[in-house]
Amino acid sequence: MFRCGIAYPRCRWILPLLLLFAIIFDIIAIAATSGWVEDENAKSHYANMWTHWRGRNDDWKSKSLMELPWAQAVAALMIIGLLLLIIAFIISCIALCCTLNLSLTPFIGLLVFITVVLQIIALIIYPVKFNEDLIFEGHYDYTWAYGFGWGATILAIGCGILFCCLPRYEDELTGLAKTKYIYTSS
């Protein structure tokens, strides 16, 4: 009377959607103007990926981080990662949504894993070098924008694993395999 199973043909739309969310999270992290880092107590220093500001109330002095080689590397790695995610998203839409071409999924998984490596490197370099070069005293917090960068990276790790495992379920995705029910009641 009641059956519960996984509808694999519908699942193939989920992976491009997850990649789209990773792209959106990356764009939020890269374009955030409110900052990746801010000091906890005095609210006198904050920075995003591009610039840092020092001051109080209406007297803020900004300085570009792009003068520092490590900040240029972080920006380049994050932007290259975003571009690779966009390419992976387009290929995944073609491979899974338009036609079912599972031979492309390991390549998509490889692109996503390259993105993960680049973004992990960038997201580790930023706090280490920021603490080393720009923090002189006090305690600093990493904000939601920096968290969105990690969120995109974590989503990409999951997508990369799923894209690499997807070719094993070709019959289920095409609808040729018999439905396996998780629960049946009589």
Q: Which domains, from first to last, does the chain contain? A: 8-30+67-185 (1.20.140)
More confident: 1 or 89: 89
112 neighbors 160 (Cβ within 8 angstroms): yes
Give the pLDDT confidence score for residue 1 in this predicted structure: 40
Over residues 101-110, mean pLDDT: 87
Over residues 100-124, mean pLDDT: 91
Closest by CA position to 107, among listed 92, 120, 119, 117: 92
CA dihedral sign of residues 172, 173, 179, 182: positive
What is the rounded (10 degree) CA torsion for 94, 97, 103, 106? 90
pTM of the full structure: 0.83
Predicted confidence (pLDDT) per residue in 20-48, tens digit? 999 999 999 999 877 788 877 657 777 88
Does residue 82 register a pLDDT over 90?
Answer: yes
Residues 6 or more apart whose Cβ sits within 8 Å of residue 13: 96, 97
Q: Is 140 helix (H, G, I), strand (E, B) or coil?
A: strand
